[in-house]
Structures are given as structure tokens and as C-alpha cells.
Amino acid sequence: MLNMKKYSKWKIGGGFFLGLVAIFFALFFLRLYAIDGQYSLEIGQPQDSLLAQKANQFLKRDVPFFRQVGFAKAYEKIGWVSDIHADRFKRRDINSGLMFPRRFSDYLPAVFDTLQRQGIDTVIATGDNTNSGDDNYARVLEHITEEKHMRVIWVRGNHDNTKVMGILGVSGSAYYYTDYGQTRIIVLDDVESNGDYQGAIDQPQLDWLKDALKTDKSVIITMHIPLFDGGLASNNIHDFTGSNFPYVGDLLPRYAELENILHASGNVKLVLSGHWHVPWQKTYDGIAYAGQAALTRTGYFAAYGVIDLKNDSIKYSFAK
């Protein structure tokens, strides 16, 4: 004869156990992501779980106690990627080297994972985020960013149109600034509407920049096209290696006023750009200028940089 008392206890205990299993599963394996304001759940890894997301959000809050006791070394370092060229094409052979745009969906998440293991959750992306201005790939970039819980400071490149930048969260003008701890990151838009490959900064933006530079914080300038003559018409551009960059030339006359403004400010530490698809560095008039490799270029697959904001230094590396 069934002992109803024992059965009831077993039923209650079993239900309680199954409830705990469900809660455990939800906390450690379900992840939440958002695209265009619509939220979805999917099964993922424990580090991507809802619990991890909430813990990560809490630790990233601007809470002085956590910074003081060392739980989170906020704002000391920031990541850097460039020229993602997200697209469906398997390969693209251009003057600046052989590209594999389709592989962005492998390399960008790998970079984000690598940076997060270093405690970095904010990244500067210096333009050409998409390869052909396709908004579908802008949505994929936004999806990856949300999925990996990263904050990206997007810069417009000559391959990025207004719609792409809007999807990436940059609406209106593509120049703006954001404060990151004791550093002000100023994003400039030097892409000419006429498609000039060497770019320019118009007067309204220069006037805006003068006001943006009025801060006690250290300043990093980010833009897509470098201020210098890079020998882009040279037949040797396929030979760019980064360690032996063939030609970083003089300041382009069109950027003379911009350079004067940056130098006069006294607080600009670094000027970052992409466009040339290889890493390079140059000191000019007391300011350090640097370029980053294209994420999907042969020889630089999954390239990224880490900027040490305390020492104004850059470490180039590759995600694995």
C-alpha cells in the first residue's frame, strides 16, 4: 500500500530539487542579448550567463568602494581594433592588402574574449567597421557587441555610411566625445563626403573640437584617416608589414589647422587612426600618433591593441 505521507514528502522534495536545477541552469547557462531593442534568450557558456552579466554590470558601476579596495581597476586600460570590414565576401584584394571580410565574425568575438580576460570591457574601433556600408553587417557587429557585453566607441570610416553609424549607436554627427575615467576620448569624423581617400576636417568640426578640448582630463583623439602622407599611391603598399612601415611622411597641409589645435591644447596624449591597415607609430610636435592593423587583413588576423592610459603606451597583439 502506498504510503501517502512519504509520497507527499518525495513529491515536495523532488519538485524542490527540480526547481533548484532550473534556477541553476537559468543562472549559469542562459544568456540575454538585444538587437534593435528586442531581447532574446539563448543557451550559452557560464561566462555569458545572466548571473555573469549581472555581476559584470555591478562591478562596472562607478562605485568608489570597489575601486578603492581593488576589486576592479577601472579605466586603466582600453582596447583598440580597426578596419573590421564586416561583409559576406570571402576575400577582397585591394591596394592595401588581401582582406577576408567574412572572417570578422570569428576574429572580433575572439578579440573581445581576449580583452575581457584582461579585465577590459571597452574598445575603440577606428573606422571601416563595415566593408560596403551594408546595414545588415552593422547589425551583426552590434549583436556581437551586445553578446560579449562590450562597450565600443565607434569611429566612422570611409566605408561606413550614416545608417551604419546609426545602427552602431552614433546618430546625428559622427564626431562626439566620451569621458572614460580621467581620459576624454574625442571621436573625429575626417571622412570627406566626396570620397577623398585622405580625408579632411571641416571648420564647424574644428570649432567644436576647441570646446571639447577644454578639460582637465588627458585626451585621446580617434579618427579614421591619419594626418600624414602615407604613400598610399605607392606600388609597395602590398609590402606593408608594420614592423618596417615603408613611409609615414609629412603632415598633410589639409590637417595643419587640426594639428595646431591639438598641439596648443597641451592635453592630447595620443591620436589613433586606422585606414592604412597596418600598425605604425610616429611622434610629431610632442604628440604620439599611431595606427592599427585591419582586423581581417592577411598577416594581421584578429589584431588588436591595448592602450595603457596611465603610461600613454600601446601594446599590439593578436587574439587566439
Query: Which pLDDT tens digit goes with each residue over 148-182?
Result: 999 999 999 999 999 999 999 998 889 999 999 99
Question: How many Å separate Cα 24 from the centre of its chain?
Answer: 33
From its phi and psi, is residue 25 left (phi > 0), alpha (psi between -120 and 50) or beta?
alpha
Would you place residue 225 in the very low, low, confident or very high pLDDT band (cuts 50, 70, 90)? Answer: very high
Amino acid at 87: D
Q: What is the pLDDT of residue 79?
A: 97
State yes or no: pLDDT of 61 exceeds 50.
no
% the chain with pLDDT above 90: 56
Average pLDDT over residues 88-117: 87
Q: Give the orientation angle of helix 4-29 with respect to helix 50-59, to 10 degrees.
A: 50
Residue 73's pLDDT band (boundaries 50, 70, 90)? low
Most confident of 33-37, 65-69, 221-225: 221-225
Q: Which whole number is the average pLDDT over 75-81?
A: 94
Which pLDDT band holds residue 106 (cuts at 50, 70, 90)?
Answer: very high
Q: Is 276 strand, coil or helix? A: coil
> Which pLDDT band holds residue 6 (cuts at 50, 70, 90)?
low
The pLDDT of 20-38, averaged and rounded, is 53
CB 123 within 8 A of CB 149: no
**Mean per-residue pLDDT, 176-194:** 92
Fold for domain 73-318? Purple Acid Phosphatase; chain A, domain 2 (3.60.21)
Distance CA 146, CA 246 (A): 38
* The pLDDT value given to residue 190: 95
pLDDT at 66 over 50: no
Predicted confidence at residue 303, as pLDDT, reads 95
pTM: 0.75
The DSSP call for residue 169 is T
Average of pLDDT values for 97-105? Answer: 87
List Cβ neighbours of 202 (8 Å cut-off, separation of 6 or more). Answer: none
Strands (E), the chain: 30-35, 38-43, 77-81, 92-94, 97-99, 122-125, 151-154, 176-180, 183-187, 218-222, 268-273, 280-284, 287-291, 303-308, 313-318
Collapsing DSSP to helix, strand or coil, 38 comes out as strand
Portion of the chain with pLDDT greater than 70, in percent: 71
pLDDT of residue 197: 79
What pLDDT is attached to residue 37?
A: 38
**What per-residue confidence (pLDDT) applies to 91?**
76
Q: Is residue 51 over pLDDT 70? A: no
Count other Cβ atoms within 10 Å, centred on residue 233: 9
275 within 8 A of 291, measured Cβ to Cβ: yes
pLDDT of residue 64: 36
pLDDT of residue 144: 96
Domain residue ranges in the chain:
4-48, 73-318
* Confidence band for 184, pLDDT divided at 50, 70 and 90: very high
